[in-house]
Amino acid sequence: MMACNSTPTETYEYLLLNVSNVSDSQPTPLSTPLRISLAIMMMMMMVVGFLGNTVVCIIVYQRPAMRSAINLLLATLAFSDIMLSLCCMPFTAITLITVRWHFGDHFCRLSATLYWFFVLEGVAILLIISVDRFLIIVQRQDKLNPRRAKVIIAVSWVLSFCISVPSLTGWTFVEVPARAPQCVLGYTEFPADRAYVVTLVVAVFFVPFGVMLCSYMCILNTVRKNAVRVHNQSDSLDLRQLTRAGLRRLHPRRQQVSVDLSFKTKAFTTILILFVGFSLCWLPHSIYSLLSVFSRRFYYSSSFYTTSTCVLWLSYLKSVFNPIVYCWRIKKFREACLELLPQTFQILPKVPERIQRRIQPSTVYVCNENQSAV
C-alpha cells in the first residue's frame, strides 16, 4: 500500500501504523460480481446525471427569459454535479472493478480535491437557494436579482476552492486507494490535520444542514399560517357575496391568491425534496469521514473497503437525484427534455399549446416574473 504524505514525519507515522497493524491492515474488497455490478450502476448514474444536469444548463443558457436568479443558481448546481460526474466517478468505477489505483499519487490528491471542491459548491448553492426561499416567504424580501446571484455564485466558487485546496497542497493525509475505491482522508493523529477535516465536514454538511433545517421549519410555519389566513379571507368574501347577491360565486381575487399560494407551496416542496435528498446522501459520508480520521480501529478494520464503497456510492447518488426531482416536479423541465430529444425519439406527437388550452379550457395560468423558475 502506498500513501501520499506531505512530510517525513507523516511517512514515519504511517509506517509505524502499518507495522503495528499487519494482522488487520489488509482490506477486504467486495466480491467480483458485486463490484462489477456497482461499477456498472455508477456508470449509469454518471450518464443520467450528466445528461439530466446538462439539460438544466442548456435551458438556462438558450432561453434569456429563464435567466432569473433562482435559475442561475439551479444551473450552477447542475454544473457542479456535471463536473463531479466527469472528474471523479469514472476513476472510482475503474478502481472499483480492478481494486487498484492506476492514476498515480499526484492525481490521487487532485481527485480528492476535485471531489470536495464540487461537493462544496453544490452544497453552497443549495444553501443559498434555501436562504433565498426563507427571505422571500418568511421575511417577504425578494432582494436576489440575477446580478447579485452571479456575484454570490462567484464568491461561492472561491470559498469552495479555498476550503478544498489544502488536501491538494499536502496539509492533510490522503491515501492512494487500497482501503477504498477512491482517494479518501486517512487516519492521522496530527491535530492540524484533524482540525482541517472537522472544518471540511462541518462546511460540507453540518452547518448547511442546520441552516437549511431552520429555514425550512420557519417556511413551513409561515406557509401554514398563510394558508389558514387565505382560507379565512376566502370564507369571509364568499359569505359577503352570498349575503349581497343571494348566490355563491368564485371571487377572482380569491382564485388568483389560491393559485399563487399553490405555486409557491409547490416550488418550496421541490426545494425541500432536494434538501431531504442531500441529507440522506451526505449524512453517512460525513460520519464516515470523521471516523476515518479519528478512529484507528475503524480505518484499519477489514470492513473499511465495503463501508467506503457503499458510502461513496451513496454520495454520488446526489448528482443523479436532482435531475430526477426536476423531471418529476417541474413541468418546464419535462417539456424542455422533450424539445431537446431528436424527432425520431419522440413517441408521442407534440401538441401545440393553443390546442392544449382548448382541451383543458378550465385551466388557469397565473405566472409572474418571480415564477419563471426551471
The most confident of 140-144, 260-264, 266-270, 339-343, by mean pLDDT: 140-144
134 lies in some domain: yes
- Write the single-letter amino acid at 220: L
Contact call for residues 181 and 96 (beta carbons, < 8 A): yes
Contact call for residues 88 and 70 (beta carbons, < 8 A): no
What 8-state DSSP symbol labels residue 185?
E
231 lies in some domain: yes
- With 60 as the cut, is the pLDDT of residue 73 above it? yes
Q: How far apart are CA 323 and CA 341, in angstroms?
A: 16
45 lies in some domain: yes
Structural domain harbouring 288: 30-341
Find how far residue 205's CA is from the centre of its chain. Answer: 11
103-151 pLDDT, tens digit each: 888 888 888 899 999 999 999 999 999 998 888 888 888 888 899 999 9
Question: Which of 40, 28, 181 lies closest to 112 in space, CA to CA?
Answer: 181
40 lies in some domain: yes
Give the pTM: 0.77
- With 50 as the cut, is the pLDDT of residue 368 above it? no
Q: How far apart are CA 282 and CA 305, in angstroms?
A: 18
Q: How many CB atoms lie within 10 A of CB 247?
A: 7
User: Tell me, what's the pLDDT at 173?
Assistant: 66
Q: What percent of the chain has pLDDT over 70?
A: 71
CB contact burial 137-171 (16+ within 10 A = b; e otherwise): beeeeeebeeeebeebbeebbeebeebbebbbeee
Q: What percent of the chain has pLDDT over 90?
A: 21
CATH code for position 205: 1.20.1070.10
Q: How far apart are CA 298 and CA 181, in angstroms?
A: 16
User: Tell me, what's the pLDDT at 374?
Assistant: 52
6 lies in some domain: no
With cell 497493524, the residue in question is 21
364 lies in some domain: no
Strand arrangement, sheet containing 174-175? 3-4, 174-175, 184-185
- Tally the domains of the chain: 1
Q: How far apart are CA 218 and CA 279, in angstroms?
A: 18
- With 90 as the cut, is the pLDDT of residue 77 above it? yes
21-53 pLDDT, tens digit each: 433 455 666 788 888 888 888 889 899 889 889
356 lies in some domain: no
373 lies in some domain: no
